[in-house]
């Protein structure tokens, strides 16, 4: 009798171990599949130019050592602006009074004395833009991360303190009040809802008037429609590549030419001549 009981117990233990192995294998397979889906498959679907390592880093919200294929020009760096305590302290030391003297001599011909563009098809309105946004673009022009035959030499001639002062001055000016003229349902949906089916975030997640988006994100309302559409096209083609983590390049590549136009019209006012 004892032998039968021992045999039965041994059989029960073997079945229990086998069952545990199957459970662990099933759970492990599910976890592995979920990780692959979330960190590789979905990021690659959102941006086919990523390699697997970059896709994993993007999903985890960290930078990778390898850039998206085809997005960067050879030797180019997206931006060397790092948001930390030192950067924020530097921005806080900008002086609008000193900034005005610099703007009058170096910036007003294109951006106007008060940051309202003299030619909306070429130059953006800077009045009322977040100080961090102006600071970042000037630093990128100075480093060459953002290329421009006009702005490159201008920014390179400025000291870091002068960049901080110019940023403080333009940020303190009254924004151009005219808003876009388009009421396209498609554009409105992209602005406020994005497109969840392709993991496209809404524009207001970064570009809004109350903050909360990435530091350095500009305000779009009242910007020139011509300028906005041109920048979207440049992001989509990779001609402009000073967006860290390729955020805008990924988004712009998912937009059609019609959507770019409608978004630009939605946001863009027309600056006075």
Domain for residue 79, yes or no?
no
The answer to whether residue 75 scores a pLDDT higher than 80 is no
21 and 143 in a single domain? The answer is no
What is the rounded average pLDDT for all residues in the chain?
Answer: 83
pTM: 0.71
31 and 147 in a single domain? The answer is no
Q: With H, G, I as helix, E, B as strand and everything else as coil, classify residue 146.
A: coil
Q: What is the DSSP letter of 216?
A: T
Identify the band that residue 66 occupies on the pLDDT scale cut at 50, 70 and 90. very low
Domain for residue 177, yes or no?
yes
124 and 199 in a single domain? The answer is yes
Domain for residue 73, yes or no?
no
| Rounded distance between C-alpha atoms, residue 272 and residue 149, angstroms | 24
196 and 136 in a single domain? The answer is yes
Domain for residue 72, yes or no?
no
- Give me the percent of the chain exceeding a pLDDT of 90: 58
| Rounded distance between C-alpha atoms, residue 268 and residue 167, angstroms | 22
121 and 206 in a single domain? The answer is yes
Domain for residue 65, yes or no?
no
pLDDT of res. 51: 53
Burial 178-197 (b: 16+ CB within 10 A, else e): eebebebeebeebbeebbee
CATH number where 90 lies: 1.10.760.10
Whether the Cβ atoms of residue 99 and residue 127 lie closer than 8 Å to each other? no
> At 99, phi and psi to the nearest 5?
-60, -40
Residue tagged 């005219």 (tokens): 178
| Rounded distance between C-alpha atoms, residue 115 and residue 27, angstroms | 59
The answer to whether residue 180 scores a pLDDT higher than 80 is no
Identify the band that residue 72 occupies on the pLDDT scale cut at 50, 70 and 90. very low
- Measured between alpha carbons, how far is residue 40 from residues 25, 107, 251 in Å? 21, 45, 18
Which value, in Å, is the radius of gyration of the alpha carbons in the chain? 26
| Rounded distance between C-alpha atoms, residue 86 and residue 84, angstroms | 5
Domain for residue 71, yes or no?
no
pLDDT of res. 23: 73
101 and 204 in a single domain? The answer is yes
Domain count, the chain: 2
105 and 40 in a single domain? The answer is no
pLDDT of res. 250: 95
Q: Which of 45-59, 72-86, 135-149, 231-245 has the lowest mean pLDDT?
A: 45-59
Domain for residue 273, yes or no?
no
**143-162 pLDDT per residue, tens:** 999 999 999 999 999 999 99
The answer to whether residue 1 scores a pLDDT higher than 70 is no
Whether the Cβ atoms of residue 203 and residue 220 lie closer than 8 Å to each other? yes
183 and 243 in a single domain? The answer is yes
44 and 117 in a single domain? The answer is no
Domain for residue 67, yes or no?
no
The answer to whether residue 73 scores a pLDDT higher than 70 is no
Range of the domain at 10: 2-60
95 and 48 in a single domain? The answer is no
The answer to whether residue 74 scores a pLDDT higher than 50 is no
- Give me the percent of the chain exceeding a pLDDT of 70: 76
150 and 205 in a single domain? The answer is yes
pLDDT of res. 81: 93
20 and 103 in a single domain? The answer is no
């Amino acid at each position: 009798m004892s032998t039968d009981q021992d045999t039965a117990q041994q059989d029960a233990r073997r079945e229990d171990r086998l069952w545990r192995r199957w459970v662990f294998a099933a759970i492990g397979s599910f976890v592995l599949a979920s990780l692959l889906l979330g960190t590789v498959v979905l990021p690659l679907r959102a941006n086919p130019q990523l390699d697997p390592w970059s896709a994993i880093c993007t999903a985890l919200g960290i930078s990778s050592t390898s850039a998206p294929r085809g997005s960067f020009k050879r030797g180019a760096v997206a931006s060397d602006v790092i948001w930390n305590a030192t950067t924020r302290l530097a921005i806080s030391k900008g002086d609008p009074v000193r900034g005005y003297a610099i703007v009058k001599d170096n910036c007003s011909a294109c951006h106007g004395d008060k940051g309202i563009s003299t030619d909306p098809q070429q130059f953006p309105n800077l009045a009322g833009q977040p100080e961090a946004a102006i600071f970042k673009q000037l630093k990128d022009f100075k480093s060459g991360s953002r290329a421009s035959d006009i702005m490159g030499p201008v920014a390179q001639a400025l000291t870091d303190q002068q960049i901080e002062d110019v940023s403080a001055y333009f940020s303190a000016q009254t924004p151009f009040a005219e808003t876009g003229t388009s009421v396209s349902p498609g554009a409105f949906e992209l602005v406020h809802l994005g497109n969840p089916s392709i993991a496209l975030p809404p524009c207001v997640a970064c570009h809004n008037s109350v903050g909360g988006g990435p530091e350095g994100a500009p305000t779009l309302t009242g910007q020139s429609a011509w300028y906005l559409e041109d920048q979207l096209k440049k992001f989509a083609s990779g001609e402009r590549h000073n967006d860290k983590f390729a955020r805008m390049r990924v988004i712009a590549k998912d937009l059609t030419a019609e959507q770019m136009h409608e978004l630009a019209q939605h946001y863009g006012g027309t600056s006075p001549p």
